[in-house]
Amino acid sequence: MTSEKSNRVWRLAARPTGNEFDTALRLEEEATPVPQVGELLVKNRILSMDSGTRMYMTDRKDSYQPGTPLGAPILGTVIGEVAQSRHPAYAEGDLVRCYGNWADWSIATPETLYTAKLDGKEPNLAEYVGILGANGWTAYLGVVEYGAARAGETFLVSAAAGCTGSMAGQIAKIAGCRAVGLAGTDDKCTFLKNDLDFDDAINYRKGALVDSIAASCPDGINLYFDNVGGDVLDAALSNMADFGRVAVCGLLANYSAEGPVPGPYKFDLVLMKRLTVQGFFSPDFYHREPEINPVLRQWRDDGRLKLPIEETVGLENTIAAYTKLFIGANIGKVVVRV
């Protein structure tokens, strides 16, 4: 079934500077991997493009897992079919979501948190890394549980046209909040307001953001869902209402940083406004998929939760797809169809 040099694999050739993934990543041809006892060989169909992967390209000591060693394959969430099973609970042909490689093939270990058998009901497999995947759970729990959104509150989300951000805003609306999104182009803002029913959207590249937020959120922000950190977080902190909450989902602005990055200059406001700032991320709640996905699926089927999916075809085009996340070129979820 497998042959020599039948697996193309993106490997980390050098630690990237900024968004220069062209020189940092290298596509190599090699032998298809062989699953050991307890493992699966997975034929990759969809690669999920996630900004967090950027952190592991830099070897940050602060990160929650070690940096990717130079020369190692890039790891990420993939969807594929089991081509060979050496685990009793899986059979050839099973559809799985797992932590695999940016490659034609992955080896998956079902004994880890990350491998899940999929129900196969979705015509578009990318849904399993979209509304029904980690971004969906992150948006859901970040708004509903960590953020404890309540009806009547003002909700702000950064990277609002991105996968997690766009869902977070819609879920905040479902929770009864007034939802405001930050995005980097007027087109994205129009999309958020017209297509996703956000109450307002602000182009953070135009004018003084702290003033734009103040104008849009005159009573202050009760819940800020942050995907980016940096200056945008400072502008949000300046506009928090007393006793507001900041759900820290991502710090995109810092992922490329090499040296020490100062925290928000408005950190004092955590005390002055008695804020709660909480970090959270999806590996902590992967096990809650069976509970969360029926809710998300229902909202989607009711037309209350939408997620555009931008699909790039061809493993060889992965860098172009991945770069989109960092230059603000995408709306919704970015995937590569292998």
The residues that touch its own copies, with contacts defined as CB under 8 A, are 62-64, 229, 248-251, 254, 260-281, 284
* CB nearer its own copies, residue 275 or residue 319: 275
Rounded Cα gap, residues 244 and 23, in angstroms: 42
Closest distance of CB 188 from its own copies, Å = 24
Could you tell me the two tokens for 165? 């951000």
> Is residue 19 helix, strand or coil?
coil
Q: Which residues pair with 81 in a beta bridge?
A: 43, 95
* CB nearer its own copies, residue 141 or residue 201: 141
Closest distance of CB 251 from its own copies, Å = 6
Output the furthest CA–CA distance in the chain (Å, rounded).
64
Q: Which of 158, 210, 148 is closest to 179 using CA atoms?
A: 158
Rounded Cα gap, residues 57 and 113, in angstroms: 22
Closest distance of CB 294 from its own copies, Å = 25
Closest distance of CB 245 from its own copies, Å = 9
* CB nearer its own copies, residue 13 or residue 210: 210
Closest distance of CB 203 from its own copies, Å = 24
Closest distance of CB 232 from its own copies, Å = 14
Rounded Cα gap, residues 141 and 144, in angstroms: 5
What number of CA atoms fall less than 13 Å from residue 51's CA on the CB side? Answer: 28
* CB nearer its own copies, residue 137 or residue 191: 137
* CB nearer its own copies, residue 18 or residue 260: 260
Closest distance of CB 50 from its own copies, Å = 14
* CB nearer its own copies, residue 24 or residue 248: 248
Q: Which of 142, 208, 164 is closest to 332 using CA atoms?
A: 164
Backbone angles phi, psi at 151, to 5 degrees: -55, 140
* CB nearer its own copies, residue 183 or residue 240: 240
| Pairing outcome for strands 95-101 and 105-108 | unpaired
Rounded Cα gap, residues 60 and 292, in angstroms: 32
